[in-house]
């Protein structure tokens, strides 16, 4: 497992060690048609062995990026999967390709899995399990899953982490961080590459901790303990560590099984309703949801019942988020554009004041169809998608929890549509939104919101004197710093750097030439060639080298 302290900027030794790997990655990128990217963002001079070459962007850039990540290996595949959940920073055509990335790798030998299990559990495999299937049921970059039977006869699945997975992922994250640092300030994309890599590090760090996944499974089990048509596998804590996870085995086909389309129409309708109701309960009632509801993670148990698998990726929503969603719906129905903007800002969506008019115009165009309608007549699905589309079209940043929510609801909607296309998925959601609306008007809820607001204002007012005191102290000590951010000057600064560097090289070349000439003429002792002292020759050679290098650099840049 990667501790958070290890998600950091690579040190000097690590940078040197990564140079060869960076060269390999740049070659893969060029082979897939992305050499232009390094030139456009001035990264070609920062990668060893790079030769500048003219290259047009690939026509199908999304497909080429996906294929490039697949070639680079499992960590890069997972990084691409993270980017597929960030339509606020990644163009739609690339997102459509990144969602196709599959985390499939060759399984590691059974003997290795045995060693991991025995080392972590502290007992032999024969004593821990009555039987253990040596053939894995599934394999991925972090671990693989085996079927087994416990001494009491319970059928379980055992998830075993690949040996050295954490160490390899750590190295790859350091490499990605090094690339991100090179791109920071050069990549004009409206987001911070370093922040994206940090987010990836935290995300994959959670996946490496199987104890965290077990806790997620247990929490889902408590949330669904009184729901008859949804089963959550039991966690066997005695057989769980950070690298070994043991859960109850749910018997049935997953929804990607070829037998599922053969179910009767009524069975598929009941199954679709169960899935939709399951996720709406998680989102609107529990505030804790399974963030990866693709077909392989849902088991069909018969008679409209389902079971959930793989709890490594879970999202959460605060009570304030749900209340904010209800406020957003009400503002839409009241045609209250300032209210809609306030709701978006309270949810963590921010924009520059200069873009305020554009945001207002986009909101009015997108939500005008819902103005004046009642909650019962609003298509919640379309409204949510419209809100996310506004954020993505304006390239606004969303908190991660909302990105996971969007991904989960879109995936769930696709699964349900494939089972029963005519099901009005979000008709089921209306009762949850209606419950939220009633709860919002409940006197106890109003009192709780009032107490929270008062507490927040009191906290802010209490901090103001301390903040003002700190400001005065910094001014008195002469330590007050004012930071500013310029835009549009990066190319000018880069050109000035190039000019200054060439000027320094020219001066060094001239100085070497002049000093070596003086040495060659004035030194009388020692060997001479053509009347000049040989002690002046090294200076001549250095002067010629730097002069030739400078001329070659100018010619290569195309700026004579």
The reported pLDDT for the residue numbered 1 is 46
Query: Is residue 304 over pLDDT 50?
Result: yes
The reported pLDDT for the residue numbered 245 is 96
% of the chain beyond a pLDDT of 70: 70
Query: Is residue 10 over pLDDT 50?
Result: yes
65-68 long-range Cβ contacts below 8 angstroms, 24+ apart: 65/32, 65/34, 65/94, 65/97, 65/98, 66/97, 66/98, 66/100, 66/101, 67/32, 68/28, 68/29, 68/32, 68/34
Query: Is residue 7 over pLDDT 60?
Result: no
The reported pLDDT for the residue numbered 285 is 84
% of the chain beyond a pLDDT of 90: 21
Strands 298-302 and 532-533: unpaired
Query: Is residue 151 over pLDDT 80?
Result: yes
Would you kindly state where each structural domain of the chain is located, as residue ranges?
A: 4-105+167-207, 258-441, 451-482, 490-557
CA angle 66, 72, 76 (to 5 degrees): 70
**Cα–Cα dist 275/229, whole Å:** 10
Q: Model confidence over 451-505: pLDDT tens digits?
A: 666 766 677 677 767 777 677 777 777 766 666 555 555 566 667 777 777 787 7
Query: Is residue 377 over pLDDT 50?
Result: yes
Query: Is residue 4 over pLDDT 60?
Result: no
Q: Which residues contact 498 (CB under 8 A, 6 or more apart)?
A: 557
Query: Is residue 157 over pLDDT 80?
Result: yes
CA proximity to 168, closest of 239, 249, 108, 221: 108
Q: Model confidence over 505-516: pLDDT tens digits?
A: 778 778 777 877
Beta-bridged to residue 397, according to DSSP, are 350
How confident is the model over 94-112, as a mean pLDDT? 80
Q: Is 298 exposed, middle or buried (0-12, 13-18, 19+ CB in 10 A)?
A: buried
Q: pTM of whole model > 0.85?
A: no
**Cα–Cα dist 336/346, whole Å:** 15
Beta-bridged to residue 160, according to DSSP, are 144, 244
Query: Is residue 534 over pLDDT 60?
Result: yes
**Cα–Cα dist 489/499, whole Å:** 15
The reported pLDDT for the residue numbered 298 is 93
Q: Which residues contact 114 (CB under 8 A, 6 or more apart)?
A: 125
Active site residues: 292
Band (5; pLDDT cuts 50, 70, 90) = very low
How confident is the model over 376-398, as a mean pLDDT? 66
The reported pLDDT for the residue numbered 48 is 47
| Contact between 324 and 346 (Cβ < 8 Å) | yes
Better-scored residue on pLDDT, 397 or 113: 113
């Amino acid at each position: 497992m990667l501790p958070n302290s290890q998600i950091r900027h690579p040190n000097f030794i690590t940078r040197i060690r990564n140079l060869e790997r960076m060269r390999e990655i740049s070659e893969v990128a060029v082979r897939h048609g992305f050499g232009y990217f390094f030139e456009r963002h001035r990264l070609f001079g920062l990668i060893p062995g790079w030769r500048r070459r003219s290259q047009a962007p690939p026509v199908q850039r999304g497909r080429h990026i996906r294929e490039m990540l697949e070639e680079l290996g499992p960590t890069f595949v997972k990084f691409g999967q993270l980017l597929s959940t960030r339509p606020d920073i990644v163009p739609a055509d690339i997102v459509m390709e990144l969602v196709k990335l599959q985390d499939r790798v060759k399984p590691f030998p059974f003997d290795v899995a045995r060693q991991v299990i025995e080392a972590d559990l502290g007992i032999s495999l024969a004593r821990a399990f009555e039987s253990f299937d040596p053939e894995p049921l599934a394999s991925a970059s972090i671990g693989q899953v085996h079927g087994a039977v416990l001494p009491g006869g319970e059928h379980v699945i055992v998830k075993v982490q690949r040996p050295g997975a954490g160490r390899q992922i750590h190295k790859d994250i350091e490499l990605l961080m090094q690339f991100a640092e090179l791109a920071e300030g050069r990549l004009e994309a409206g987001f911070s590459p370093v922040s994206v890599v940090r987010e990836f590090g935290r995300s994959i760090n959670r996946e490496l901790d199987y104890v965290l996944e077990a806790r997620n499974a247990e929490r889902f089990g408590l949330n669904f303990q009184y729901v008859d048509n949804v089963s959550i596998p039991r966690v066997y804590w005695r057989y769980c560590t950070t690298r070994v996870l043991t859960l109850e085995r749910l018997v049935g086909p997953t929804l990607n099984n070829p037998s599922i389309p053969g179910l009767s129409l009524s069975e598929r309708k009941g199954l679709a309703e169960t899935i939709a109701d399951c996720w709406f309960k998680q989102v609107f009632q529990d505030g804790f949801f399974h963030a990866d509801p693709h077909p392989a993670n849902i088991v069909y148990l018969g008679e409209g019942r389902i079971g959930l698998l793989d709890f490594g990726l879970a999202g959460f929503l605060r009570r304030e988020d749900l209340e904010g969603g209800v406020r957003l719906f009400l503002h839409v129905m009241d045609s209250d554009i300032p209210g809609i903007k306030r709701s978006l800002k309270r949810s963590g969506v921010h924009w520059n004041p200069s873009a305020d008019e554009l945001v207002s115009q986009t909101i009015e165009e997108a939500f005008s169809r819902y103005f004046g309608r009642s909650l019962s007549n609003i298509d919640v699905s379309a409204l949510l998608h419209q809100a996310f589309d506004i954020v993505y079209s304006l390239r606004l940043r969303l908190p991660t929890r909302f990105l996971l929510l969007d991904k989960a609801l879109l995936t769930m909607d696709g699964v349900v549509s494939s089972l029963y296309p005519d099901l009005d998925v979000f008709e089921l959601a209306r009762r949850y939104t209606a419950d939220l609306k009633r709860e919002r008007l409940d006197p106890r809820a109003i009192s709780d919101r009032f107490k929270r607001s008062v507490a927040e204002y009191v906290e802010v007012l209490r901090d103001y004197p301390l903040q003002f005191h700190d400001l005065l102290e910094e001014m008195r000590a002469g330590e007050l710093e004012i930071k500013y951010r310029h835009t549009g000057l990066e190319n000018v600064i880069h050109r000035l750097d190039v000019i200054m560097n060439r000027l320094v090289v020219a001066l060094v070349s001239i100085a070497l030439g002049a000093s070596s000439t003086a040495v060659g003429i004035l030194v009388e002792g020692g060997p001479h060639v053509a009347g000049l002292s040989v002690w002046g020759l090294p200076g001549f050679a250095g002067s010629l080298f730097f002069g030739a290098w400078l001329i070659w650099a100018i010619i290569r840049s195309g700026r004579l």
